[in-house]
Structure 1
Amino acid sequence: MLLVSVALTATACIELPWESQDIPEDVPPGPGVQQPQIDIHASGRTADGMRAWAEPIAEQTGIPRTSLEAYGNAAEIQRQQYPECGIRWTTIAGIAGVESKHGRHRGSDVAENGDIRPTIRGMVLDGTNGNYEIKDTDKGRYDGDPEYDRAMGPFQFIPETWANYGVDANGDGKADPDNIDDAALSAARYLCASAGGDMTTRAGWEKAILTYNQSRPYLIRVRNHANAYSINVRY
C-alpha cells in the first residue's frame, strides 16, 4: 500500500478578513493563473523561470514565492511531459497547504533553492494515536528513524513512496524530500499515477487525492485550498 500523506494540521479553515470572495467548490479545482512555458530541460533550478508569474500570486495568496515557483514548475513539467494528466498547480498547492503550510509548518522556512529548514517530520508511524503502523523501510536514511517510518518534508512523503517516486527538480543532482522543488514534482507524478493518468475528471482527481490520504475530510480541505488559490485568495 503506497500511503504518502500524514496530515500535520487538523484544524478547519476559519473565515479571514481578506476572504471577500466566495470560494468555489469545483472538482477538479480551478486552474488558477496559467504558469508560463519554460525550458524544463535547462540547467540549474528551472523553477526560477516562474518568478515573475509567482510574485503577484504570492502577494495575494500568502504562499511563499519560492513554494509557488515549485508548484508552477511541477505543473509545467507535467504539462509538457504528461499532458494527458492535466494536473494544475492549484492542486499541488492545495496538497502542500494542507500538509505543511507550504513548507512553513512549526516555523520552518523555504530557502531560495527550495530547501526546507528545519526539516519537517510527521509523527512516528508506530500504530499509536490513530496512526498507521509502518515499520522502517529505509534504515532511517530519509526520515532519520531506524525503527518506524515517518512522513517527510513539505509534501509528507513516507520513505517507501519517496523511494519509488522521488525525483530531482532543482538541478542539484539529488532527489530530496526536504526540497520543495523535488517534493512538488514528485507529488505531481504520484498524483497523476494514482489518478490513472487523468486528473481532469472528478473521478480521477478524487481518486488521486484519496490515494494520497484516505480521508474524505482531507480531500475537502485540499479542494478548498486549491479553489481558493485558483481565484488568488488566501486560505
Structure 2
Amino acid sequence: MSDEGSLSTRTSALESASGDASRSDSSRRWIKGRIVMVAAVILATLLLLASSCSWQLGTPIPEGVPPPSGDPVPAVDTYAKGRPADALREWAAERAPKLGIPATALEAYAYAARVAEVENPDCRLSWTTLAGIGMVESHHGNYRGAMVASNGEVTPPIRGMRLDGSSGNLEIRDTDAGELDGDDELDRAMGPMQFIPETWRLYGVDANGDGKVDPDNIDDAALSSAGYLCYTGKNLSTPRGWMNALRAYNYSEQYARTVRDWATAYAEGRRL
C-alpha cells in the first residue's frame, strides 16, 4: 500500500447480508441480493449517494477510466470443492512473473472477477482493477515482508494505522472489540485489501471453502472487494461507475488514478 492508512477514508459498508460462512451461499450473497438493510447502513448509503452526486456534477472523470480489462479469464467451476481459484493456476503462472504479482494473488483476483462475471454480469468488474487495488493497498499481500501462501493466507497479518483522526484520516472508534483488527480502542484496516472491521462484517465472504471468512486471506479479501465494488459502482465498464466504486473504496481521486495506472499496466502485460 502507498501508506498504512490508504483505506482510512473508505466509506462504511452499505449493505448487510446473512452471516452464513459457507462458500456456496456467502460467496454469492452480494450478487443474489439476499440483503438485510439496517438503519445505520441506510444512513451510510445516503451519505455516499450525496458525495457521489456532488463528485459527478463537479469533477471531470480522469482519462483512461475505466482501465482495460486485460486477458480474459478462463471458465471456472465456482461451486468446486476446495479452493476453486486453483483452476486458474496455469493461467496465473504464465502471467505472474511479467506482472510482478504473486501467482496465488493473481489467481484470487481472476477468480473474483470471474465470479462477478458469471453471477453479476452487469457489474463488469475486471481482474485488472482488483489487481490495481491489491497493489496499492498491500503490494499484493507482500507489504513489509508479508507473504502469500498457496492457500491464500497472508502472514504476518497486514494492519493499517490506527484510525484516530490524525494525518487526514477519519476517526473510527472500535467496532469489533479488537476481535478482527487486534485493537479494542480504534479500528484499523485489515488484510491485503485493507477492509475496516465494520465493512468486513457486512461484505466478508468465504471464497475458498475453508469455512472461514478471513480478511487476511487473499481469496476471501478479493471476492469481498468484488462484492463491494459491484454494489457501489453498479457497472464498472462505464467511467462513472468505475469512479463511483473506487471513490467508495477510498475517497481520493489520486487513489483512483494510481489504481487506474497499475490496472492499465497489468492489462498491457507489464508492471509500472
- Fold shared per TM-score above 0.5: yes
Structure 2 match to 1:222: 259
Task: Please give the TM-score of this superposition, normalised by the length of structure 2.
Answer: 0.77
- 2:64 maps to 1:29: no
Structure 2 match to 1:16: none
**Counterpart selection for 2:268 from 225, 231, 234:** 231
Which structure has greater helix proportion?
Answer: 2
Structure 2 match to 1:111: 149
- 2:247 maps to 1:213: no
Q: C-alpha displacement at 1:6, in angstroms?
A: 3.5
**Counterpart selection for 1:38 from 47, 53, 76:** 76
Match of 2:160, SS?
strand
Structure 1 match to 2:6: 7
Q: C-alpha displacement at 1:191, in angstroms?
A: 0.5
Q: After the TM superposition, which residues 97-136 of structure 1 pair with which residues of structure 2 at under 5 Å, given as runs? A: 97-136=135-174
**Contact 1:27 1:205 (C-alpha < 8 Å) held by counterparts:** yes
Structure 1 match to 2:189: 151
Matched residue type, 1:29: P
Task: Please give the TM-score of this superposition, normalised by the length of structure 1.
Answer: 0.89
CA RMSD of aligned residues (A): 1.2
Matched residue type, 2:65: V
Q: Aligned partners of 1:112, 1:212: CA distance in 2, in Å?
A: 27
Matched residue type, 2:98: Q
Matched residue type, 1:43: K
Superposed CA offset, 1:177-234 (max 9, x none): 0000000000011001011x21110000000001100001101000000000001111
Matched residue type, 1:139: A
Q: Aligned partners of 1:212, 1:163: CA distance in 2, in Å?
A: 15
Q: Which runs of 5+ in 2 are unaligned?
A: 8-62
Structure 1 match to 2:26: none
Q: Aligned partners of 1:214, 1:113: CA distance in 2, in Å?
A: 31
Give the total of aligned pairs.
214
**Counterpart selection for 1:93 from 111, 131, 145:** 131
Most deviating of 76-85 and 25-34: 25-34
Following superposition, which runs of at least 4 residues in structure 1 exceed 2 angstroms of deviation? none
Q: Aligned partners of 1:209, 1:41: CA distance in 2, in Å?
A: 29
Superposed CA offset, 1:151-187 (max 9, x none): 0000000000000000000110111000000000000
- 2:177 maps to 1:139: yes
Match of 1:122, SS?
coil
Q: Which runs of 5+ in 1 are unaligned?
A: 9-24
Structure 1 match to 2:38: none
Matched residue type, 1:223: R
Structure 2 match to 1:62: 100
Q: Aligned partners of 2:235, 2:169: CA distance in 1, in Å?
A: 30
